Structure 1
Amino acid sequence: MDQMKPAGVLAPYAGAPPPAPAWYRWAIDQLPERSIFECDGVPVELLTWGEVGKPGLLFLHGDSAHADWWSYTAPFFADEWRCAAISWSGMGSSGRRPGYTFDAWAREAIAAIDAAALDNGTGTMVVAHSLGGYPALIASAREPRIRGIVSLDSAIIPQDLMAEVPRPKPRPHKVYVSEQEALGRFRFMPPTIGDQHYAVDHIARRGLHEAEGGWTWRFDPEIWRDLESRSGENLADLPRRAQCPLALIVGERSELIRDEIATYMRGIYPEGTPFIGIPDAGHHIMADQPLALIAALRSCFAYWPERTP
């Protein structure tokens, strides 16, 4: 979840984009095709890269985020894959629902396979960050076209530790006088690691929109109201219900997947599931160590089991 606090890392830039390396500028220049599809009558934002007919690769973001979290990652795969990213309902430029469930988001992920033309007959790979890992796993239990899931720092926490997990409280967004002020207040939760401020700026800037009186955040502040009780899912059951191979990439400095939680998760994931650590990365791996994440994903895909009939 992303929240705004004083003295964010973008404040010193006074609204200007931070300096960025050449690889990042190249990736951002690979503009996606932007479109909307409907799921349950709700408009869902869709970004696509790469040619139709190539194997499908679907990127799913986490809590209170948006599809453009993947804008500097997906282009590195578009030569070999038909890539897509969606914004969950209630986030990004997607529509809102009266209430949110992991099941509804799973339906959106499945619908994206057709909307983005990801199915070339070989199955669709899914990369899912944080909260996005739960609907991805639910979708894989229902949709045989999902060939595999790589979850990124998607924690499943044992019940005896759940009381320690902070839950966002629904509250109206603050409206900022200017985009510059809003950017200056942006902070990741948990905090990001490192100085890739260009990535933070991109994520924050694409998460804003103009509203009456100024600028505010796109995501619905009501997302977490009764989400867990509405969903009714036992998250610990999800990995074994998946009907495809799984892998988990974690930040080795993640605030969410601590040692005891990692040990627990190894016990609930199918035997032999790869657990890959990204050094010097926290929860937001794509912001902390973006190139290391790209390399890890490439390695996963290169050795992924072939789909059997």
Structure 2
Amino acid sequence: MSVSSHEVRFSLPSLEVAAKVWGNPDGLPVIGLHGWLDNAATFDRIAPLLNDVHLVALDLPGHGLSGHMPAAGYSLWQQAATVLQVAENLGWKRFALLGHSMGAIISGVLAGSLPERIMGACLIDGLLPFTSEAEDAPKQMARFFAASLALESKRKPVYDSVDKAIQARAKGSNTDISNEAVKILVERGLMPDNGGWTWRTDPQLMLPSPMRFTSNHAVAFIEAITSPTCLVLANQGVMHKHPQVLDRIERFQNIELHQLDGGHHLHLEEPASEVATIFDSFFRKLT
């Protein structure tokens, strides 16, 4: 695939969605979905290494250069619906998915719900969402209400240089991530503000979810996937911090599993070429 990319915009009914595009329009149609608080640049290192793929990597709503959703607009299913709207805009009745973290979870929701439309999915260090059981729902909703009211009084931080924003992003990450990887993401995630720089990200993305899948819900989506699926897990990533989740993932018979050394953003760091090689081979089987 060409090293260079170009920008596109999708004018959807409720908002505009931005994307980076790589590859030949005649290649395998693939929609790329980044992780929480990241953006389409998350695929900058592996996209040029994928052959015969037409990759449209989205800035999901509330992220990067895309528009923001109305209040409480960032559930997994609402984000998944946005992906389908983009696919309709492209005229893609069938397509593959490339997802990292939250984007991998959204990919699982789509593949489990609409197997007739998803040709296959490549996932990076993500599969099952955070879950809670039905009896926890009132407390979860209460947390959402309290955080929503408190959000009105909060202001986004303003940094006097891009370097300080990079340092803050690296320090504030819940996962280990190199400064080089952060630089790739920050370039698309900042905007000028009062002589400095602040995040484009919608502050609502920091709110706790009002509702979560139960564990049975989450597993049901993954077990409903019938299209080929390839999952790369990072040995020092998110899943390995939750052994019970890792154990469950290893039991899914419908998923081709690879485990590589690296952190949660391993596709933006040293193992990127290994990740790309695995996915390139997988995508070739779909064509």
TM, length-normalised to structure 2: 0.80
Q: Please give the alpha-carbon distance, in whole angstroms, between the structure 1 residues aligned to 2:174 and 2:274.
A: 20
CA 1:52 to 1:296, structure 2 compared with 1: closer, same or farther past 3 Å?
same
Q: Distance in 1 between matches of 2:267 and 2:75?
A: 25
Alignment of 1:254-265 (within 5 A): 254-258=237-241, 259-265=243-249
> How does 1:87-166 map onto structure 2 within 5 Å?
87-98=59-70, 99=72, 100-116=74-90, 119=92, 123-140=94-111, 141-142=113-114, 144-156=116-128
Separation in 2, partners of 1:273, 1:52: 28
Secondary structure of the corresponding residue to residue 204 of structure 2 = coil
Q: In the TM superposition, what is the alpha-carbon distance from 1:201 to its structure 2 partner?
A: 1.5
**Residues 231/173 of structure 1: CA separation in 2 closer, same or farther (3 Å cut):** farther
From the superposition, tell whether residues 114 and 48 of structure 1 become closer, same or farther in structure 2 (CA, over 3 Å). Answer: farther
Quick one: distance in 2 between partners of 1:158 and 1:214? 38
After TM superposition, give the deviation of residue 116 of structure 1 in Å. 4.4
User: Which among 188, 192, 214 is matched to residue 206 of structure 1?
Assistant: 188
Amino acid at match of 2:81: R
> Which of 179, 184, 189 matches 2:167?
184
Q: What is the alpha-carbon distance in structure 2 between the residues aligned to residue 235 and residue 249 of structure 1?
A: 19
Question: 1:294 Cα shift?
Answer: 0.9
Q: Which moved more, 1:63-72 or 1:199-208?
A: 199-208
Q: Which has the larger share of helix?
A: 2
Counterpart contact for 1:183–1:205, Cα < 8 Å? no
Q: 1:252 aligns with which of 229, 235, 254?
A: 235
**Alpha carbons 1:45, 1:86 under 8 Å: kept:** yes
* d(CA) in 2 for partners of 1:189, 1:239: 27
How high is the TM-score relative to the length of structure 1?
0.75
- Deviation digits for residues 101-120 of structure 1, max 9, x if unmatched? 11111112122324446x4x
CA distance in 1: counterparts of 2:88 and 2:14, whole angstroms: 16
> Does structure 2 conserve the Cα–Cα contact (< 8 Å) formed by 1:68 and 1:206?
yes
RMSD after superposition? 3.0
Structure 1 residue corresponding to 2:201, chosen from 219, 231, 241: 219
- Asked whether the equivalents of residues 108 and 127 of structure 2 are also in contact (C-alpha less than 8 Å), the reply is no
CA deviation after TM superposition for structure 1 residue 132, in Å:
1.1
Secondary structure at the counterpart of residue 222 of structure 1: helix
- Work out whether residues 20 and 40 of structure 2, in 8 Å CA contact, stay in contact via their aligned partners in 1: yes
CA contact (8 A) 1:46 1:85 kept: yes
SS at match of 1:257: helix
Partner of 1:287: 268
1:159 to partner: Cα distance:
5.0
Quickly say closer, same or farther: Cα 1:211–1:293, change in 2 above 3 A.
Answer: same
The answer to whether the aligner puts 1:73 opposite 2:57 as a matched pair is no
Contact kept, 8 Å, 1:96 with 1:220, in 2: the verdict is: yes
Give the one of 215, 222, 225 matched to 1:242. Answer: 225
Alpha-carbon distance, 1:254 to partner: 1.4
Structure 2 residues without counterparts, runs of 5 or longer? 137-142
Aligned partners of 1:126 and 1:150 also within 8 Å: yes
8 Å Cα contact 1:59-1:85 kept in structure 2: yes
Q: Report the CA distance between 1:285 and its aligned residue.
A: 1.8
Alpha-carbon distance, 1:245 to partner = 2.4
Look up the SS of the partner of 2:211 in the other structure. Answer: helix
By how many angstroms is 1:221 displaced? Answer: 1.7
Count of aligned pairs: 264
CA distance in 2, matches of 1:221, 1:236: 30
